[in-house]
Structures are given as structure tokens and as C-alpha cells.
Chains A and B, each alone.
Chain A
């Protein structure tokens, strides 16, 4: 039985026996290579579910839809390991209760999809712990290394060029499951800390704020970069932040749901080489 078939039957069983009220998964898209998020509540509709290497979007953000989890009922959702880490972070930030989330775990490896054992987010903690070690050993992105070798003025010019294209559609924010604030700080106008206009200055400010607010929270799922209609390499900023919290504080976002948020906790012996 193919993994897709296997997950369809599992989704069907979950809906039939009433253990979940909805399955959030992937369905066919406008073209043969596109996938789109779908929401299944009828067991007979589970045949619409698709699972293949094109299922890249992190769906976890949909769990925060207003009222969805308010009735204490469970929802099943297709999640890759970064999706499971998202659930852990959202739980640690009190945005949802992981007990209400039934994980249909999978992992994309090249062109194939592998099933992952487990149903609760915590079942994946050993797997995530392994990924932490892998992430530590992973070299920085090639472009990041290039940037680090530039002079500050050259780096500034690079980002100025990238940010000059930003149209402030805020798709990066909307696509990010971590951007759950009811009112984003840049939409506050008393005080208005950063410019809301999409001139390069306002774009630089917005992108710095976004990257900073995701420091130690980003699971590198890639939703933001995928969503950006003008292809700004947002992932470079996020990855740089991930590397910073990993080396400075040994923090790997979303390790488990009891993990303390990195910027809301501290150790007395945290490094401080740059402080005069």
C-alpha cells in the first residue's frame, strides 16, 4: 500500500471513529505539480488527500484559525518534522494544546515521502533531537558565508537591493505559522515604531523586525520564502538567527513543548563577548 493510500485510510478511520473532527492535509492544485491545503470533515472525502514530495507547505498555522480548537475536539494534520516543531512552539507559547493535535507525520526525502511513526507531537521528540545535532553540524548557507565575508557596506548594499523589491503584501507574515499576533507590532500606530510604507527604508525595518521576532522560534519550514512574490531570500535572515541561538544558547526551536522560549528565558552565564 502506498504511503498516500495508507494515510488516506488512517484519516478516514480517525474521522469515522470520531477521534478527530477534521483532517488538515494536502489536495490536488491548479496544475499537476501544485498542492493546496484542504480541510476534510467527511470520511468519504479522504480520497481527495494527496501525499507526495510536492507537499511542502507547513500547514500548522491553520490550527490557530479562530475557534477551530475552542471546542476541545481534536484535529488531525499532515506534518513534516518542522511542522511538528511548530506544534511544540505554539504549545509552549500557549497558542494551542498539543493534546488536541493528531499528527500524521511524514518526511520528504528528495522525490519520495517517508511515513513517520507517532501520533502525538511528543512522539517525535527523539527524531527532533537528532535533527538538532544535524543542524549544529550543518554548514551555513552558501550565500550566508559569502555575505559574512563581505564588508558591512557591501552587505548593506546587498540587502538594500533585496528589500527594495518588497511590496509589503505581508505574505511572509501571513504564511508564517509563528506570526500569530492578533495585531502585529508594525500595524500599531501609537507609537508607530517602523514605517508602514514600502519604500526601501520601511522594507528594511519591517524585515529586521520580522526576522528578530522569529529568532529562536523559526523552524525553517520555508513558508515565508515560498510565499514571497518578489523572491526575497527571507530564509537567509531566519537561518542566520537560528544559527545564532543555536551557538549562543544551544537552543533548537521546537525541541519539545516544554522548551522555554529562548528570548523569554536566560542563563546567568550566557555569552556576552560583544558587551563593553
Chain B
């Protein structure tokens, strides 16, 4: 019997809010699925769309990008810039056929340990239902094969 599918999810989070929120979830002993690999960055303004592409290139089934609520940015407006970037990039991903459930954006503050745990729970479940990102994995696999003609 094959193992049930466990999605690989990469979360790019800012250190001041969402990372602290994740920390709070931990210290509060809240349970959430271990499918998420967290990458901590100084600010959502530092999260380039290139990171998202890299995560998929390395086989991620889903990506979460998360930071401080608008108005709460440690650097005053990093998340406002990020928001514009995400708007454009999200539209682009949608237009090129990356399913909505595979890339999520959220605001999670340092006080929202519960929101963090619940969100991880729900996106993991959603991607588990959707299955592996086969279309992307096929492209990755092709890089290691010789053209037939």
C-alpha cells in the first residue's frame, strides 16, 4: 500500500508578525500539520515572487506568503508594497494556470497564534484534497530526461 499523500508546503513569512504568530502557536501548544516548511524573512517587502517560483521548482505542492496586517509593518510600509506585488503576481499565476489553492497570501499578527494554526490546517487539507501539483512536477521531471527525437 502506498503512503497517503502529504503535501509539501513552503511558507514565506515576515519575522515580526507571522513568524511570531507561528511561535505563539507553538508555545500555546496548538496543533497544526507538520507539512509546512517556514522560511523567515525580515519583511513581506523582502519576499520576491522569485521565491515562490523557486519553491515550486523544488517540488512544493503549495506556497503560503504571510506577514503583518496593513498598518502594522515594522518598517512602516513594506507590506503595502508587498500587497501590490502580490496582486500582480497572483493574477499572473492565475492566468497561467497555477490553481488558486496552491498559492495563498495572508496577514497574521504576532498575537494570532490560533489563526496561524487554523490557516495551516485548512490550506494543508485543501492541498491534500487537491493532490500533488502533478502538472508542475511533470515539468521538473522532464528536466532530467533526454528528448526522444
Contacts and interface: CB of A to CB of B under 8 A. Distances in A.
A213 to B, nearest CB: 9
Contact of A154 (B81, B87, B89, B97): B97
Contact of A201 (B81, B88, B96, B143): B143
Given A244-B88, A275-B107, A276-B104, A155 B142 contact: no
Interface residues of B, number: 40
A245 to B, nearest CB: 7
Contact of B92 (A157, A158, A200, A212): A212
Q: Is the interface of B mostly helix, strand, loop or mixed?
A: helix
B48 to A, nearest CB: 8
Contacts of B98: 152, 156
A209 B88 contact: no
Contacts of B57: 194-195, 201, 205
Interface string A180-216: 0000010000000111010111101100110110011
The residue in B57, B90, B93, B100 that gathers the most chain A C-beta atoms within 10 A of its C-beta is B57
A276 B85 CA distance: 16
Interface stretch (A121-129, A169-177, A264-272): A264-272
Contacts, number: 128
Nearest to B49: A212
Given A153-B135, A195-B143, A263-B81, A211 B97 contact: no
For chain A, which range describes its interface: under 10, 10 to 19, 20 to 34, or 35 or more residues?
Answer: 35 or more
Given A270-B83, A274-B90, A193 B104 contact: no
Interface in B43-98: 48-51, 53-54, 57, 70-71, 77, 80-81, 83-98
A195 B142 CA distance: 13
A201 B83 CA distance: 26
B88 A212 contact: yes
B105 A156 contact: no
A159 interface: yes
B1 interface: no
Contact of A264 (B53, B81, B92, B95): B81
Interface in A244-259: 244-245, 248-249
A158 B135 CA distance: 12
Given A194-B57, A195-B143, A241-B92, A274 B97 contact: no
Given A215-B92, A270-B80, A158 B86 contact: no
Given A199-B143, A205-B53, A216-B88, 10 more contacts: A152-B98, A153-B135, A157-B97, A158-B97, A159-B96, A194-B50, A240-B91, A240-B95, A263-B81, A268-B70
Interface of B: 48-51, 53-54, 57, 70-71, 77, 80-81, 83-100, 104-107, 119, 135, 139-140, 142-143
